[in-house]
Amino acid sequence: MRRLRASIPKLALVATLLPAGSFVAPSDADLVRGDQRHLAFLRIQQVHSVSQGARVVVAVPDTGVDPHPDLRENLLGGTDVIPGGSGDGRQDRDSHGTSMAGLIAAHGRPNNRGALGIAPKAEILPILDTPPDGQGDPDALAAGIEFAVARGADVISISAVAGASVRLQQALKVAQDANIVVVAAAGSRPTDASVRYPATEKGVIAVGGIDRAGRHAAVSVTGPEVDVVAPAVDIYSTSYDGKYSKGTGTSSATAIVAGAAALIRSKYPYLPAQEVAHRLTATAIDKGPPGRDDEYGYGVIDLVAALTADVPPLGFESASAPAGGGPTATARAQPGHDDGAAVRGLATLGVIVAAGVGWALLVRRRRRGDDPPPRISR
């Protein structure tokens, strides 16, 4: 996990590449897919028959993103908000940013070779906001978020913890006002003892981790702010210079959840950001004590259920489509990228106007933190 430098608590990376500085050789493109055990756990083959994240842009403010062969087709031109990069975010001397981007959107190679991301048709907007030592500045993260908003990102994936600087708090508010899904790492032990900012910010999806057996990962912090959990131990992904990395920490879990948000935004482009988050929590698999708890939040993400379950909306202010509804004509009529919040807002309005169908006007009170959400169990 990366950490940021400031007079207030630093922004820091929340995953460790294990073993430190050790990478798999490029020739192991033949083997890495088999090492990506989290894909089978998440039933990715079934998931990708429903959605692959097309037309969704995920911003990755991190150490930059190297144009890895398994990822480069999905890599947009981004920016560097600190000195020392290539100027467009497409350079990484640390590996962390490339690893996170690969978990989200790596497309792999033919014949099941190379690394595969959760949303392999999503596009990555790379933002270099942290130097190779993993110690950055919260205001640099804020600048990266501001850039993502300006470029119309649909999802922002923050695999870092930071001090709550005024500019960072304002940037997160602007992102949420722009209808962007913001996902952030809860924090990783032993460096972090509790859920850290920006995962503690209202409206941000706070992500904890589980181990290879599906239990709470020892590396993952706990707390009332945790929303969902995802695989976080021995997670293989892309690295710089065509190599591969293995990481452990809530950074990896965060990137996986960001990929999940991209899948949902692709299938349901009219859903407001809060409904995307609701779909993730409402379909999560309950673990630990019944209902929300401090280790698992609302549970382990279930990508199949998040894409296919009938999920009642949070309230009258937003509409949640039936699982088989597919994208609206309004959203699909736009050329190229749907320009983020504007198109989704218009499409949502169209759904509500057409509300002779009852599902669009279902009213449901906002769930309290101690209310168990509807669940898909297995």
Residues annotated as catalytic (active site), given as ranges = 62, 96, 251
Residue 11, φ and ψ in degrees, nearest 5: -85, 130
Q: How far apart are CA 292 and CA 281, in angstroms?
A: 10
Quickly count: other Cβ atoms within 10 Å of residue 57's Cβ.
Answer: 25
Smallest CA-to-CA distance from 105 within 78, 77, 76 is with: 76
Q: How far apart are CA 52 and CA 347, in angstroms?
A: 21
Helix, coil or strand: residue 126: strand
* Contacts for 145-151: CB closer than 8 Å, 24+ residues apart: 145/59, 145/61, 145/171, 145/172, 145/174, 145/175, 146/171, 146/174, 147/59, 147/78, 147/79, 147/81, 148/59, 148/61, 148/175, 148/180, 149/174, 149/175, 149/178, 149/180, 151/57, 151/59, 151/125
For tokens 């930059």, what's the residue? 64
- The Cα-based distances of 354 to 259, 287, 351, 357 in angstroms read 30, 38, 5, 7
Say whether the peptide bond before residue 269 is cis (omega within 30 degrees of 0).
no
Which amino acid makes up residue 280? Answer: L
Helix, coil or strand: residue 167: helix
User: For 214, which DSSP code?
Assistant: S
Residue 76, φ and ψ in degrees, nearest 5: -80, 170
Beta-bridged to residue 158, according to DSSP, are 184
